[in-house]
Structure 1
Amino acid sequence: MTENAYFAAFFFPAAAAVVIFFWKYLSAVMQAKVRLAQDEAYRDMAAKAVAAQAETAQALASVSAALADIQSRVASLEKILKEVE
């Protein structure tokens, strides 16, 4: 065999191996970036859920206070109506 044939016989498989490992590395990097973006999205969604839950708890407390006030007024009205009878 000629010198070029030996060179080709060793160069092309070695080049193919390098290309395969490069694509594997590139794939791992891209997957890591996607996971990081996905984790950030989950963190943002969790933060928004916590904020919404706190807001809902505050609204529920306000409604509970208003309901307690209404119940006391109704009890007062019932008492007045019983006295009138």
Structure 2
Amino acid sequence: MSENVYFAAFFFPAAAAVVIFFWKYVAAVMEAKVRLAQDEAYRDIAAKAVAAQADTAQALATVGAALADIQSRVTSLEKILKEVE
């Protein structure tokens, strides 16, 4: 009977230590997977932001060109109106 007690006294704490280290390892693996997924999400957001910024810059350039054209037309219209007076 005493052999069983000694066996249990050593086995259960050793088994508990193994289980604790196993769960610690599993938690580290899961944390790494979550960080990887989070990094991928940040990369996707950054790529979308760069694309949106490029589109905005292109639209701003188009609006600037249109504004310059309108400004030149207004200037020529002012010249014509001054000549008419």
Structure 1 runs of 4+ aligned residues shifted over 6 Å read: none
Give me the whole-angstrom Cα distance separating, in 2, the residues matched to 1:9 and 1:72: 94
Alignment of 1:8-23 (within 5 A): 8-23=8-23
**In the alignment, structure 1 residue 69 sits paired with structure 2 residue 69:** yes
Could you tell me how far 1:61 is from its partner in structure 2?
A: 0.1
Per the normalisation by structure 2, the TM-score is: 0.97
Q: What's the % identity of the aligned pairs?
A: 88
Counterpart of 1:28 in structure 2 is 28
Letter of the 2:57 counterpart: A
Q: Quick one: distance in 2 between partners of 1:75 and 1:5?
A: 103
Quote the Cα distance in structure 1 between the aligned partners of 2:77 and 2:47: 45
1:3 CA drift (Å): 1.3
Q: Which runs of 5+ in 1 are unaligned?
A: none
RMSD, matched Cα: 0.8
Q: Which runs of 5+ in 2 are unaligned?
A: none
SS in 1 for 2:54: helix
Q: Compute the displacement of 1:6 (Å).
A: 1.2
SS in 2 for 1:73: helix
Task: Give the total of aligned pairs.
Answer: 85
Corresponding residue for residue 41 of structure 2: 41
TM-score (norm 1): 0.97
How far apart, in 1, do the equivalents of 2:67 and 2:74 lie?
10
| In 2, Cα distance between equivalents of 1:62 and 1:77 | 22
